[in-house]
Amino acid sequence: MLRLLVLLTLPTVILGLGRTQSVGVRGQLICEDKPASGVKVKIYDEDKLSPDELMASGKTDSSGKFDLKGSADEFTSIEPKINIYHDCDDGIKPCQRKITVYIPSQYISSGTEPKKIFDFGTLQLAGKFSGETRDCLN
């Protein structure tokens, strides 16, 4: 199965096939009503048959704000999502809490530069979220 995936994705990588699509997202993260600085935020293109493709990565600033843009080459439409990795209201548990938020398709642009930015708004990380997981290898 892995060989088949490699064979299917190899021509895209080598030949640069597919179309370039991009997405941008900005927002602010807070923890217990204080800015959540240094929180890791990543944009991925979610793939069903192969590992998700990292499109952009960064950390929140001292105000808890982030602004990321990224692109990927795909034959079909990308399925962008952001993963947020944090330790807010987490005590001494191992690894980090991981929240995933899917970016609506109307924010996907053709080309390497997004034409429209998804404004994520402000998120209070101290809450518990449906679908939240833990991640030790982010």
Q: State residue 17's pLDDT score.
A: 66
CA separation for the pair 86, 132 (Å, rounded): 11
CA separation for the pair 137, 121 (Å, rounded): 27
Q: State residue 13's pLDDT score.
A: 45
CA separation for the pair 75, 17 (Å, rounded): 8
pLDDT over 70, % of the chain: 88
Closest CA to 68 of 83, 79, 87: 83
Q: State residue 69's pLDDT score.
A: 98
Residue 116 pLDDT level (bands cut at 50, 70, 90): very high
Q: State residue 9's pLDDT score.
A: 45
Closest CA to 54 of 72, 27, 40: 72
Q: Which residues contact 62 (CB under 8 A, 6 or more apart)?
A: 35, 37
Sequence ranges of the domains in the chain: 19-128
Q: State residue 50's pLDDT score.
A: 87
Looking at 2.40.10.340, 3.30.830.10, 2.60.40.3330, 1.20.910.10, the CATH number of the domain 19-128 comes to 2.60.40.3330
Mean pLDDT of 68-95: 95
Mean pLDDT of 65-92: 96
Question: For residues 8 and 136, which has the higher predicted lDDT (pLDDT)?
Answer: 136
Q: State residue 119's pLDDT score.
A: 97
How much is the pTM?
0.86
CA separation for the pair 40, 50 (Å, rounded): 23
For the stretch 12-61, pLDDT in tens is: 444 556 899 999 999 999 999 999 999 999 999 999 888 999 999 999 99
pLDDT at 136 over 50: yes
pLDDT at 10 over 80: no
